[in-house]
């Protein structure tokens, strides 16, 4: 078969993805073409405007990828990467794919580290998953010392790969309740994006329901089992005045503030993300 225009290839892929219920079919089609060609999405768009052609081998490669995405396999699993703030993280089966909304959550921790009085403020990321939060703190606040733990062996392998060679970041494969007792009372910031989906609340999106690890999603009957553990563990880790940052679902802010206040935290506050949904709660250690 002869070459075809890149633009027609992209639009045909987008139609297939749209028919399969993929939320942003044109975006995903352009990103998949970029993955096949080894270029960024903007370069794909420019090539479409120029009227560039696609080879038969590119068409065949794209067809295979579109078939996987149409089956609702996450785009990030197909490309093997997920963007997060200034990072490109390696992701795949067995690890929670970092979300754009978490980019705003980690900003609370970064701001606290930048403004901490210590020469080398310490941050702890409990349940780091891919390492997105910990690596953001370590690279954006290079004078900080960041410690991260991940219990899942599969996720730990991805976090290990993503954080390798970061001199101010220590990663361990331990339960968040048991890790880093040597740091108790010295930490400036504790942050976590814990599993917070109630056990009975099965996610609607197939990408989440079928591909994100259950260990990273489900947090007990009300979704807050791990939050209760976090509250007590962070009280031990943080120095007086240290900041706790917890990501959570949009309907959980009030209950999390109640948990933290009962445990003795000060100034528990819930914050919205860019879509104006409650997304994170912060509190100060007394």
Tokens representing residue 184 in the block: 């108790």
DSSP label at 197?
B
CA dist 155 and 162 (Å) reads 11
CA dist 276 and 154 (Å) reads 33
Catalytic residue chosen out of the listed positions 25, 84, 96, 180: 96
Catalytic residue chosen out of the listed positions 162, 193, 195, 198: 193
Tokens representing residue 20 in the block: 């399969």
Contact call for residues 49 and 42 (beta carbons, < 8 A)? no
Is 193 marked active-site?
Answer: yes
Rg (CA), the chain: 21
Catalytic residue chosen out of the listed positions 98, 194, 195, 198: 194
Is 211 marked active-site?
Answer: no
Axis-axis angle for helices 153-163, 132-140 (nearest 10): 20
CA dist 247 and 197 (Å) reads 12
3-state secondary structure of 278: strand
Catalytically active residues are 96, 193-194
């Amino acid at each position: 078969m002869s070459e075809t225009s890149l633009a027609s290839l992209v639009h045909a892929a987008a139609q297939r993805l749209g028919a399969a219920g993929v939320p942003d079919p044109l975006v995903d089609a352009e990103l998949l073409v970029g993955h096949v060609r080894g270029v960024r999405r903007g370069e794909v768009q420019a090539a479409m405007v120029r009227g560039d052609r696609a080879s038969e081998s590119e068409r065949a490669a794209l067809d295979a990828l579109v078939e996987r995405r149409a089956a609702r396999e996450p785009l990030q699993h197909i490309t093997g990467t997920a963007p997060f703030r200034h990072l490109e993280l390696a992701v795949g089966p067995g690890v929670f794919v970092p979300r754009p909304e978490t980019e705003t959550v980690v900003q609370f921790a970064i701001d606290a580290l930048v403004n901490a009085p210590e020469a080398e403020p310490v941050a702890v990321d409990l349940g780091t998953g891919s390492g997105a939060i910990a690596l953001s703190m370590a690279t954006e606040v290079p004078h900080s010392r960041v410690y991260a733990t991940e219990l899942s062996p599969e996720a730990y392998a991805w976090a290990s790969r993503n954080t390798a060679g970061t001199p101010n970041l220590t990663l361990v494969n331990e339960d968040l309740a048991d890790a880093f007792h040597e740091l108790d009372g010295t930490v400036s910031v504790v942050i976590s994006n814990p599993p917070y989906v109630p056990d009975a609340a099965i996610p609607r999106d197939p990408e989440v329901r079928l591909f994100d690890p259950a260990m990273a999603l489900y947090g007990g009957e009300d979704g807050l089992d791990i939050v209760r553990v976090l509250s007590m563990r962070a009280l031990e880790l943080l120095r007086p005045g240290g900041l706790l940052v917890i990501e959570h679902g949009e309907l959980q802010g009030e209950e999390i503030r109640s948990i933290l206040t009962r445990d003795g935290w000060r100034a528990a506050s819930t914050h919205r993300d860019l879509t104006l949904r409650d997304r994170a709660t912060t509190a100060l250690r007394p």
